[in-house]
A and B are shown apart, each in its own frame.
Chain A
Amino acid sequence: MFGGEHKQTDIAQSAIFTTGSMRASRFYPAILFTLFVMYGDYSFDLSSKIRMFSSFIFSPFAQVEFLAKDSFNTFDSYFSSQKKLSEEIIMLRNQIRDLENQNLALQNVKTSLNELEDLFNLKKSFQERKIFLGKVTDFKKFPKELVLVETRTNNITKDMVAFNAFGLIGVIDELLNNSIKIKPLHDASIKVPAKNSRTLENVIIVGTGKPKTFQIEEFKKNGDIKKGDEIISSGLGDRFPEGFLLGRVTEIKENDQSNFLLVKVENTFDFSFGSTILFTEP
């Protein structure tokens, strides 16, 4: 019963002090080579290149599972009534997708037409002034807010102002070949001569740097102003055309340290709205 174990013990007793023929000198070159490869990978990221190459080589094998699944499903549904139903569903889904695309295209056309209508209504206010149209190609928010507009005319000059369907939205920042950069009216560097449409008092509004928000510069404490007053461009200084709505007074703050009121004006003009921009002389 224990014969096997005795034999094993005998072998073990004779083997316990025996070592193999393996010598460390055979082991060193392999370990040196491995350390060299490790250094190469650490320095030059060899492994990621090998991984990319191997994933490219083995990519067909990764598809095998999906291919087999698809083949099985096709085969399984081919002889069943499900096939007809599934084909019909796919056809109807495609039709729905096409109709959705058409609907989207029509909505875009409608928006463009409304925008052009608004712009041409705006044109009536310009009387005899020349107007030019441009197509919005880009809108940048950083580092400063800008709208890039493409035009085909060379008659646009740097003193012109820009309108979108809402109204006056900015001034020309830079003229480039066939394109124009527009700076928003709410930019902190812009000052617009304006007047209160109720009292006809002239004021200057300055941009705050925040969209749709302005401040009236140095408005005296004894001046007549109320929340909700309409502020329109006065046309003074010939920089901006007269009579265009710039916003409404939304906040009036009094400061004991100052002789002036802090008057906030806001409008609803979206600087980045629309696809067409209208340029005109002031």
Chain B
Amino acid sequence: MNSLDDKKPSIFNFYFFVGLTLIIASIIEVLLNDFFLSRLTLPLTLMTLVYWNVATPRSIGFFWTMLSGFILDIFLGYLLGIHVVIFLLTSYFSQRYFHRFRALFRLQQSLIVAVIVFIYQIYFILISNNFSLSITFELLILTIISSLFWPIIYGALRYLRIKLTYGQ
């Protein structure tokens, strides 16, 4: 009988898989931004990052966080490091409080993610100094959409993680 530990992939495989999902999320985010031409974007990378930091806090360092942040900075036209700073802060707090986050119901998690996304979007509104009624509306809509997306992202990444880890 095979134990679950026998099927565990090497830490390198897992580490690169995490990086790959973050890079794919960044690319999708850039494409969505190009497609909708909105000032704010659906923060798929941020939500993916939150998931990995909460699910496997010991396997994910800061390298992929920084790389995905730099990718977004380059392709969305921000000063290099703008996304990275907020991603690092999110990673730090997610890794610090992952026990509490994991213990919450999915609905509560969605609310927490909505708050994170709200702060994230406010950060970009402050940086671009772009206050208006329309952007407030955009901000609220994106926050609600992001919180609705969280269970989907959570489920998809959890499925992939289990597949990769246990092959089931």
Contacts and interface: CB of A to CB of B under 8 A. Distances in A.
Contacts of B73: 47
Interface stretch (B92-100, B140-148, B155-163): B92-100
- Which DSSP category, helix, strand, loop or mixed, fits chain B's interface? helix
A54 B79 CA distance: 16
A68 interface: no
A19 B99 contact: yes
Nearest to A36: B81
A41 B81 contact: yes
Contact of A47 (B74, B92, B102): B74
A60 B130 CA distance: 35
Contacts of B88: 27, 30-31, 34
Nearest to A41: B80
Contacts of B81: 34-35, 37-38, 41
A22 interface: yes
Contacts of A8: 103, 105
A37 B82 CA distance: 10
A5 B106 CA distance: 11
B79 A20 contact: no
A64 interface: no
A18 B99 contact: yes
Contacts of B119: none
Interface in B47-101: 57-58, 62, 65-66, 69-70, 73-75, 77-82, 84-85, 88, 91-92, 95-100
Interface in A2-45: 5, 8, 11-12, 14-16, 18-22, 24, 26-27, 30-31, 33-35, 37-38, 40-42
A47 B97 CA distance: 33
A14 B62 CA distance: 28
Contacts of B62: 26-27, 30
A69 interface: no
Interface residues of A, number: 30
A34 B66 contact: yes
A20 B80 contact: no
Given A8-B103, A18-B99, A22-B57, A27 B92 contact: yes
Contacts of B70: 37
B137 to A, nearest CB: 30
Given A31-B85, A47-B74, A41 B100 contact: no
B104 interface: yes
A42 B79 contact: yes
B57 A54 contact: no
Contacts of A37: 70, 80-81, 84
Contact of A22 (B75, B92, B100): B92
Nearest to B85: A34
Q: Which of A5, A15, A40, A54 is packed against the most chain B CB atoms within 10 Å? A: A15
A150 B102 CA distance: 83
A46 B80 CA distance: 8
Interface of B: 57-58, 62, 65-66, 69-70, 73-75, 77-82, 84-85, 88, 91-92, 95-100, 102-105
- In the A-B complex, the 3 residue pairs with the smallest Cβ-Cβ separation, listed nearest first, are A38-B81, A22-B95, A12-B103
Given A20-B98, A35-B85, 16 more contacts: A15-B100, A16-B100, A18-B99, A22-B92, A22-B95, A27-B62, A30-B65, A31-B85, A33-B66, A37-B80, A38-B81, A40-B80, A41-B80, A47-B73, A50-B80, A51-B75
